[in-house]
């Protein structure tokens, strides 16, 4: 009952956040210099054609009217159509005139639905790798605050956080893929194509996990109830695994919720470098091609995913620690 | 050689200190403990009580090590690793500490954790047995609805309930020895009295040998058995409790006994300087204050926490007005209302004929100079990175003054702060000095009324006496009126002329000092006095006034008298009708149907 | 705690120092902070001074000198180009140092801006409460739900990237986290006893916030903000890599690495040297930042 009320409340809040987000992005895209119509019709088109297309697409209406139309479409799952991508795939050539009001342009919703699973797969693998890498290091570092384990955790974390992801990606492509031919790197033709980009992302996320785990576990180990568990007769193993880790897990889970945007940011660049056909790649290509409807659609999707995962994070945190306010 | 089979635990020359040398925390402590015996150890804070109790359980804190001596459990040395002992921590020797609220993992239900401990130390018992035993013991320590409480989390337990749960945790594995380290320290007096009685009863019933360490001689007196005195890591003497009090063998013990405050056997009687013809300085008229708390997990369901419920009283010029009550009674909220940090929901506070509610913000800043609050916690009440002089000066600067060094110095001198502290930061100063800074920055505004929120309770006896003297001198010189808000009955007895007793957001009794302490009217006042930690003969038998249970939550206050759920004298009318605060005898107010009935009876008879 | 009795307790000499100075002193006492500090100062000085003194240009193309390897490597190395040259014969050392200069400039200025905007709004929300808090925190939530990189590349993708726009865009996308932290710190601070003490004296909210609360709240956040300088430098490099950073011919780490991808196998040093420069600078900053953070946590935990 409590959980249902919580979900209802958070979903309502989440919708508000997504609406606000879409408004911010929508406004930003319309106030920045650069006329998208010019891009659609091509640089050579006469001014009257530009105006005609613009009016037909409603791009000369006040922003709030445009936004209302857009949100009305969104309610039906219609995110509009790409300016430059036809249904058949491939990007229309810049110079030639394509009428974007006709239906041969790809619907944004389809573009996103097609790529979202691939991105989720990449993100999930990256998280898994990151947890596998950072858990032992963070655990040891947290339990031995004054030992070499803590120094190791500190070192690994400082090193990993200082490696720019795109640079690491290039170096790994060069060595593992081009020189040693161990793993495929560019494009996507099967599961093995996920491994290398996921590893690079994992290196990017793991310092945060190591740091949080070391700090929060270190704090929990100082708590009176851990000390007292010893005199109550619990074994050290039991104290660590069923009490200390459980208490240290809440900050860690909250961190994952917050670091999600770092993860998404990383996905963007990594997909672009590895030419991995996910949402991130689509974002970069759309931004470079000024494909506004696609950018909007992606922003709304990521913000919805973000909201959803944060609801999940709070729910899990509550299930672990009932003191967490939900 | 005879073997004393009833000897269960023995410390021989136990010495504990930092491994690097330096001073020992425990120095050659020796004593014997027989089965089914309660052994009391008195020690003030810092005497080494906690280290001693941990050393006996083979549970020394980090940074300390055994440096000599031994601890024998049933004839075997538990410190000797080579000796094969079947001794097991948590099973044979159990420990209860003074911080029940942080003793268990906050993320798991209380009952589950107790059962987990039981299964760890008694692997031979089945899960079912452990569960049943925990439920049975929760019932035995009188935790209401134990089956439901088994599944509740530590944060849902009050301090007293949690201490009961920790007692269950300690005794569930049937230990031969129980070590109780200052277990009543964080609890209110009436709750502490319950816990002590409960523990006493359990020790006898379960035939556990118990070591009870306490920093309160009065609490140890409730056990009354063999009692030792720990001073700077040494046991200075050991006698039966009554003998110890009557004829202490060491100077230290005599001093400790002398410093236990007295309530009844004292000739002190604070004199009221008020004139009966004076107008009240401050009038509190039917003040209410409630807080809205969101009900957990709901969207917009709020509950009202009724913190102060219709309080009215007058404070006369130049009197020392005391407000006493236990935690959760609404003292702190009332303090905030008196200091106008919060406005009452309805009702009003009138100072010198002016209702504070009617003032503009600018007028209020001026008016605030007339009534000042001295906060409870001397360590956090002062801005941390501001020098002493600047802190005191701030009062004047807010009102647009400049170049005020002379006035600040004068104020510092008045409260007894040396002028050299002017440029010091407060964090290097003592508790007493910090309190004086707080007093100085209030005094520099020449107030008429000073509200003192537990101002004296953080201080030791000597410093307390000095400040009481200072308050008295300032009162003579500046025509001050004081309101003391405190839980400390002995302190209130020493300084207040008129005292109000609060319970669950209401005033249950208001009377002059002597009347309140020697002839209390309200059953709650009697219970509070009977639980006061003193060594005296009390004017009434504490056993008659030992309260059951805990105060109801201020969210769901039952109808009728708020004290009805715990009152030993409760009768039918109390559960339906709320008694009003009435003047039963001249100057003595109480809110109790019993008094009304008695009066009515008298009127009928006459 | 009665565990350590008064007989054992040694008076701490550091007690009279303010918390912030204790944090700084504790961090300065560690080797990792000093190493980070010296490396950082060296890089900063070199990137400021060397390009001014040297006559070599970072943008001049000398086609005959293209693909010169770094010192002692290959056959054609020369003292004039210690880190070799790129595909257009431009000196790599100079290009890296100019890149570093912009990277540091953008990183530091952005963090200062983010700190001012974020903490300003956060303090306001936390201390004033009510609808101030409502509005500021809802905007913060909304903005946090769009990853800042998407926001940044969107804005830069449609407008022309220059150094000021890059700084503004990064600052605009980075402030919400600071607003959150500052708000929760302000709420904690607002509940402290000394604030109540000042209210009793008659001090107004603004007076307490500016004179007393802000000096307590901000330094600990500023210590951790050091870490964000590194984060912003990475973002700057990513933008450059995507072609949305500082525009050629001015070199930036991101654009050099991006261009170098074509020559990875023949001229690996073009990609490696900016990467190493960036990684060293970031490590230095991160060492300082994490040590400060650790010292802060320890002192706040133990104080």
| Mutant choice from C135, C142, C235 vs A, greatest count of A C-beta within 10 A | C142
Q: Number of A to B CB contacts under 8 A, please give it.
A: 73
- Structure confidence at residue C117 as a pLDDT band (50, 70, 90): very high
Closest CA to A256 of A323, A222, A211: A211
Decide if pLDDT at A146 tops 70.
yes
DSSP notation for A130-170: HHHHHHHHHHHHHH-TTSHHHHHHHHHHHHHHTS-HHHHHH
pLDDT score at C261: 81
- Structure confidence at residue C284 as a pLDDT band (50, 70, 90): very high
Per CB-CB distance under 8 Å, the chain B contacts of A230 are 59, 89
Asked if C196's CB is within 8 angstroms of B385's CB, the reply is no
* A5 vs B270 pLDDT, higher one: A5
Per CB-CB distance under 8 Å, the chain B contacts of A2 are 296-297
Decide if pLDDT at C74 tops 90.
no
User: Chain A residue with minimal CA distance to C153?
Assistant: A287
Per CB-CB distance under 8 Å, the chain B contacts of A235 are 120
Asked if C2's CB is within 8 angstroms of B46's CB, the reply is yes
Q: What is the mean pLDDT of residues B198-207?
A: 90
Percentage of residues of chain B with pLDDT beyond 90: 37
Give the span between the Cα atoms of B529 and B547, in whole angstroms: 12
Beta bridge partners of B452: B374, B484
pLDDT score at C264: 77
Pairing of the two strands B320-324 and B481-486: parallel
pLDDT score at C7: 37
- Which of A37-46, A71-80, B489-498, C156-165 is predicted with the least confidence, judged by mean pLDDT? A37-46
A25: nearest CB among C32, C146, C238 = C146
User: Chain A residue with minimal CA distance to B54?
Assistant: A231
Closest CA to C263 of C73, C87, C70, C91: C87
Q: What is the mean pLDDT of residues A50-74?
A: 80
Scored b (16 or more CB within 10 A) or e, A43-60 reads: eebeeeebeebbeebebe
Chains that touch B (3 or more CB pairs under 8 A): A, C
The alpha carbon of residue B536 is apart from the nearest alpha carbon of chain C, in Å, by 28
Give the span between the Cα atoms of B384 and B378, in whole angstroms: 11
| Mutant choice from A225, A233, A251 vs B, greatest count of B C-beta within 10 A | A233
The alpha carbon of residue C198 is apart from the nearest alpha carbon of chain A, in Å, by 31
Q: Under a CB-based contact definition with an 8 Å cutoff, are residues B11 and B71 in contact?
A: yes
Decide if pLDDT at C9 tops 60.
no
C145: nearest CB among A17, A154, A272 = A17
**Residues of B contacting chain A (CB within 8 angstroms):** 54, 57, 59, 61, 88-91, 94-95, 97, 99, 102-108, 116-117, 120-121, 153, 155, 169, 173, 296-299
Decide if pLDDT at C106 tops 90.
yes
- Structure confidence at residue C114 as a pLDDT band (50, 70, 90): very high
Q: For the segment B413-446, what is each residue's pLDDT rounded down to a tens digit?
A: 989 899 888 888 887 788 888 889 999 999 999 9
B107: nearest CB among A5, A233, A320 = A320
Q: Collapsing DSSP states into helix, strand and coil, what is residue B559?
A: coil
User: Chain B residue with minimal CA distance to C8?
Assistant: B23
Give the span between the Cα atoms of A104 and B46, in whole angstroms: 84
Q: What is the mean pLDDT of residues C44-51?
A: 89
Asked if C5's CB is within 8 angstroms of B341's CB, the reply is no
Asked if B117's CB is within 8 angstroms of A233's CB, the reply is yes
Percentage of residues of chain B with pLDDT beyond 70: 94
* Phi, psi angle pair for B538, to nearest 5°: -90, 150
Q: For the segment B313-327, what is each residue's pLDDT rounded down to a tens digit?
A: 999 988 899 999 988
Give the span between the Cα atoms of B101 and B131, in whole angstroms: 22
Q: For the segment A282-325, what is each residue's pLDDT rounded down to a tens digit?
A: 988 888 877 888 888 888 888 888 888 888 888 888 888 887 76
Closest CA to B199 of B243, B133, B142: B142
The alpha carbon of residue A83 is apart from the nearest alpha carbon of chain C, in Å, by 15
Q: For the segment A202-239, what is each residue's pLDDT rounded down to a tens digit?
A: 999 999 899 889 989 988 998 899 999 999 989 889 99
Q: What is the mean pLDDT of residues B146-168?
A: 90
pLDDT score at C10: 37
Q: What is the mean pLDDT of residues C138-159?
A: 78
pLDDT score at B295: 66
Q: For the segment B225-252, what is each residue's pLDDT rounded down to a tens digit?
A: 899 999 999 999 999 999 999 999 999 9
Per the omega criterion (within 30 degrees of 0), is the bond before C249 cis? yes
Q: Under a CB-based contact definition with an 8 Å cutoff, are residues B411 and B443 in contact?
A: yes
Q: Both tokens of residue A216?
A: 């929060």
Scored b (16 or more CB within 10 A) or e, B557-583 reads: beebbbbbbbbeebeeebeeebbebee
pLDDT score at B235: 93
Q: Under a CB-based contact definition with an 8 Å cutoff, are residues A229 and A239 in contact?
A: yes
Sign of the Cα torsion B557, B559, B563, B566 reads negative
- Which of B335-339, B347-351, B559-563 is predicted with the least confidence, judged by mean pLDDT? B559-563
B427: nearest CB among C6, C15, C201 = C15
Decide if pLDDT at A40 tops 80.
no
Give the span between the Cα atoms of A36 and A54, in whole angstroms: 9
Chains that touch A (3 or more CB pairs under 8 A): B, C
Q: Under a CB-based contact definition with an 8 Å cutoff, are residues C97 and C47 in contact?
A: yes
Q: What is the mean pLDDT of residues B586-599?
A: 86
- Over C148-211, what HEC string results? HHHHHHHHHHHCCCCHHHHHHHHHHHHHHHHHHHHHHHHHHHHCCHHHHHHHHHCCCHHHHHHH
Asked if A325's CB is within 8 angstroms of B106's CB, the reply is no
| DSSP code at position C258 | H
pLDDT score at A187: 80
Q: What is the pLDDT of chain A when averaged over all its residues?
A: 83
Q: Under a CB-based contact definition with an 8 Å cutoff, are residues C161 and C167 in contact?
A: no
Asked if B61's CB is within 8 angstroms of A227's CB, the reply is yes
Per CB-CB distance under 8 Å, the chain A contacts of C237 are 164, 166-167
pLDDT score at C51: 84
Decide if pLDDT at C84 tops 90.
no
pLDDT score at C11: 37
pLDDT score at A261: 74
pTM recorded for the entire structure: 0.81
Query: What are the C-alpha distances in Å from C127 to residues B134, B260, C195?
Result: 47, 45, 11
The upper half-sphere exposure of residue B129, i.e. CA atoms within 13 Å in the direction of its Cβ, equals: 9
- Structure confidence at residue B1 as a pLDDT band (50, 70, 90): very low
Percentage of residues of chain C with pLDDT beyond 70: 93
Q: Both tokens of residue A290?
A: 């000024």
Decide if pLDDT at C223 tops 90.
no
- Structure confidence at residue B29 as a pLDDT band (50, 70, 90): very high
User: Chain C residue with minimal CA distance to B428?
Assistant: C16
Q: What is the pLDDT of chain C when averaged over all its residues?
A: 83
Decide if pLDDT at B349 tops 90.
yes
Q: What is the mean pLDDT of residues C133-139?
A: 84
Q: Edge to edge, what strands does the sheet with B481-486 contain?
A: B371-374, B449-453, B481-486, B320-324, B498-503, B506-512, B588-590, B582-585
Q: What is the mean pLDDT of residues B206-235?
A: 90
Q: What is the pLDDT of chain B when averaged over all its residues?
A: 87
Q: Number of B to C CB contacts under 8 A, please give it.
A: 94
CB-based contact (8 Å) between C302 and chain B? no
Per CB-CB distance under 8 Å, the chain B contacts of A8 are 299
- Structure confidence at residue C15 as a pLDDT band (50, 70, 90): very low
User: Chain A residue with minimal CA distance to C154?
Assistant: A287
Beta bridge partners of C220: none
Give the span between the Cα atoms of C230 and C283, in whole angstroms: 8
Query: What are the C-alpha distances in Å from A205 to residues A175, A280, A297, B139?
Result: 22, 17, 26, 50
Q: Collapsing DSSP states into helix, strand and coil, what is residue A272?
A: helix
| DSSP code at position C261 | G
Q: What is the mean pLDDT of residues B91-120?
A: 91
User: Chain B residue with minimal CA distance to C208?
Assistant: B383
């Amino acid at each position: 009952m409590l959980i249902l009320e919580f979900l209802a409340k958070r979903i309502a809040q989440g919708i508000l956040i997504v609406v606000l987000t879409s408004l911010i992005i929508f406004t930003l895209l319309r106030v920045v210099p650069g006329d998208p119509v010019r891009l659609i019709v091509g640089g050579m088109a006469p001014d009257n054609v530009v105006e005609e297309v613009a009016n037909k697409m409603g791009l000369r209406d006040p922003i709030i009217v445009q936004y209302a139309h857009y949100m009305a479409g969104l309610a039906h799952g219609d995110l509009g159509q790409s300016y430059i991508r036809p249904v058949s795939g491939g990007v229309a050539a810049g110079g030639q005139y394509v009428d974007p009001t006709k239906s041969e342009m790809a619907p944004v919703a389809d573009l996103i639905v097609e790529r979202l699973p691939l991105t989720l797969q990449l993100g999930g693998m990256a998280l898994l790798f990151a947890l596998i890498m950072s858990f032992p290091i963070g655990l040891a570092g947290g339990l031995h605050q004054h030992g070499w384990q803590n120094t190791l955790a500190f070192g690994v974390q400082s090193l990993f956080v200082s490696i720019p992801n795109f640079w690491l990606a290039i170096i790994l492509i060069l060595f593992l893929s081009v020189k040693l031919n161990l793993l495929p790197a560019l494009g996507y033709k099967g599961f093995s194509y996920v491994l290398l980009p996921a590893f690079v992302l994992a290196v990017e996320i793991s310092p945060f996990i190591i740091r949080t785990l070391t700090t929060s576990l270190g704090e929990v180990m100082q708590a009176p109830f851990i000390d007292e568990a010893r005199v109550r007769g619990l074994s050290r193993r039991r104290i660590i695994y069923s009490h200390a880790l459980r208490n240290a897990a809440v900050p860690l889970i909250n961190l994952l919720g917050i670091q999600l945007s770092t993860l998404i940011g990383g996905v963007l660049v990594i997909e672009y470098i590895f030419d991995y056909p996910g949402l991130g790649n689509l974002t970069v290509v759309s931004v470079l091609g000024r494909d506004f409807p696609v950018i909007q659609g992606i922003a709304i999707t990521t913000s919805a995913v973000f909201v959803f995962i944060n609801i999940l994070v709070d729910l899990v945190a509550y299930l672990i620690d009932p003191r967490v306010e939900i | 050689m005879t073997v004393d089979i009833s000897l269960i635990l023995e410390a021989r020359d136990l010495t504990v200190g930092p491994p690097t040398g330096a001073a020992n925390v425990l120095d050659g402590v020796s004593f014997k403990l027989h089965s089914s015996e309660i052994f009391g150890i008195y020690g003030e804070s810092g005497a080494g009580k906690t280290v001693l109790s941990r050393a006996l359980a083979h549970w020394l804190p980090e940074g300390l090590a055994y440096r000599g001596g031994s601890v024998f459990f049933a004839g075997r040395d538990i410190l000797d690793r080579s000796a094969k002992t079947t001794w097991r921590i948590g099973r044979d020797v159990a420990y209860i500490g003074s911080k029940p609220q942080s003793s268990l993992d906050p993320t798991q239900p209380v009952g589950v954790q107790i059962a987990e401990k039981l299964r760890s130390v008694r692997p031979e018992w089945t899960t079912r047995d452990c569960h049943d035993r925990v439920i049975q013991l929760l019932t035995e320590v009188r935790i209401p609805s134990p089956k439901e409480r088994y599944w509740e989390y530590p944060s849902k337990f009050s301090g007293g309930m949690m201490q009961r749960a920790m007692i269950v945790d300690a005794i569930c594995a049937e230990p031969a020895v129980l070590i109780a380290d200052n277990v009543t320290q964080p609890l209110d007096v009436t709750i502490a009295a319950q816990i002590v009685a409960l523990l006493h009863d359990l020790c006898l019933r379960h035939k556990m040998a118990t070591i009870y360490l306490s920093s309160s001689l009065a609490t140890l007196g409730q056990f009354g058995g063999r009692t030792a005195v720990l001073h700077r890591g040494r046991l200075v003497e050991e006698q039966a409790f009554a003998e110890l009090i009557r004829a202490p063998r060491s100077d230290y013990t005599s001093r400790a006994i002398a410093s236990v405050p007295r309530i009844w056997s004292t000739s002190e009687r604070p004199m009221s300087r008020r004139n009966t013809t004076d107008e009240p300085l401050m009038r509190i008229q039917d003040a209410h204050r409630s807080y809205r708390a969101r009900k957990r997990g709901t969207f917009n369901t709020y509950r009202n926490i009724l913190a102060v419920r219709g309080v009215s009283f007058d404070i006369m010029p130049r009197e020392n007005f005391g407000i006493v009550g236990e935690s959760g009674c609404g003292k702190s909220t009332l303090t905030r209302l008196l200091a106008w940090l919060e406005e009452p929901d309805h009702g009003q506070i009138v100072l010198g004929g002016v209702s504070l509610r009617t003032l503009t913000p600018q007028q209020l800043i001026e008016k605030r100079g007339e009534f000042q609050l001295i906060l409870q916690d001397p360590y956090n009440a002062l801005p941390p990175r501001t020098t002493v002089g600047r802190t005191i000066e701030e009062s004047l600067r807010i009102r647009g003054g400049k170049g005020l060094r002379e006035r600040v110095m004068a104020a510092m001198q008045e409260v007894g702060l040396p002028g050299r502290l002017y440029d010091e930061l407060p964090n290097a100063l003592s508790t007493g000095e910090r309190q004086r800074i707080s007093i100085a920055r209030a005094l520099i505004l020449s107030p008429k009324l000073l509200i003192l929120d537990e101002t004296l309770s953080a201080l030791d006896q000597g410093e307390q006496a000095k400040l009481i003297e200072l308050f008295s001198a300032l009162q003579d010189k500046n025509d001050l009126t004081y309101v003391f808000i405190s839980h400390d009955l002995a302190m209130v007895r020493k300084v207040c002329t008129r005292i109000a007793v609060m319970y669950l957001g209401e005033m249950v009794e208001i009377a002059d000092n002597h009347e309140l302490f020697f002839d209390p009217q309200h059953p709650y006042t009697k219970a509070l006095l009977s639980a006061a930690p003193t060594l005296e003969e009390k004017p009434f038998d504490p056993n008659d006034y030992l309260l059951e249970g805990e105060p109801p939550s201020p969210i769901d206050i039952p109808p009728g008298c708020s004290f009805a759920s715990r009152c030993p004298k409760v009768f039918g009318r109390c559960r339906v009708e709320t008694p009003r605060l009435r003047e039963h005898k001249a100057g003595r107010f109480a809110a109790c149907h019993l008094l009304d009935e008695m009066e009515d009876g008298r009127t009928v008879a006459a | 705690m009665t565990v350590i009795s008064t007989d054992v307790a040694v008076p701490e000499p550091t007690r009279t120092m303010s918390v912030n100075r204790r944090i700084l002193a504790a961090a300065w006492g560690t080797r990792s902070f000093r190493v980070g500090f010296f490396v950082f100062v060296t890089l900063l000085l070199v990137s400021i001074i060397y390009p001014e003194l040297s006559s070599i240009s970072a943008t001049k193309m000398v086609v005959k000198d293209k693909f010169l390897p770094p010192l002692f490597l290959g056959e054609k190395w020369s003292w004039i180009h210690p880190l070799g040259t790129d595909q257009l014969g431009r000196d790599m050392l100079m290009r890296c140092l100019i890149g570093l200069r912009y990277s540091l400039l953008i990183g530091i200025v952005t963090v200062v801006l983010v700190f001012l905007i974020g903490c300003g709004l956060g303090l306001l929300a936390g201390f004033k409460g009510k609808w101030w808090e409502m509005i500021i925190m809802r905007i913060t939530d909304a903005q946090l739900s769009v990853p800042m990189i998407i926001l940044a590349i969107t804005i830069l993708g449609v407008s022309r990237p220059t150094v000021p726009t890059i700084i503004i865009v990064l600052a605009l996308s980075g402030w919400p986290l600071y607003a959150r932290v500052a708000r929760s710190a302000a709420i904690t601070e607002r509940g402290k006893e000394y604030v109540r003490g000042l209210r009793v004296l008659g001090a107004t909210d603004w007076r307490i916030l500016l004179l007393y609360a802000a000096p307590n709240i901000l330094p600990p956040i500023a210590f951790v903000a050091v870490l964000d300088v590194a984060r912003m430098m990475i973002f700057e490099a990513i933008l450059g890599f995507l072609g949305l950073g500082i525009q050629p011919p001015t070199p930036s780490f991101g654009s050099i690495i991006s261009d170098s991808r074509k020559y990875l196998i023949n001229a690996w040093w073009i990609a490696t040297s900016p990467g190493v420069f960036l990684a060293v600078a970031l490590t230095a900053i991160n060492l300082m930042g994490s040590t400060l953070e650790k010292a802060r946590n320890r002192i706040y935990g133990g104080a």
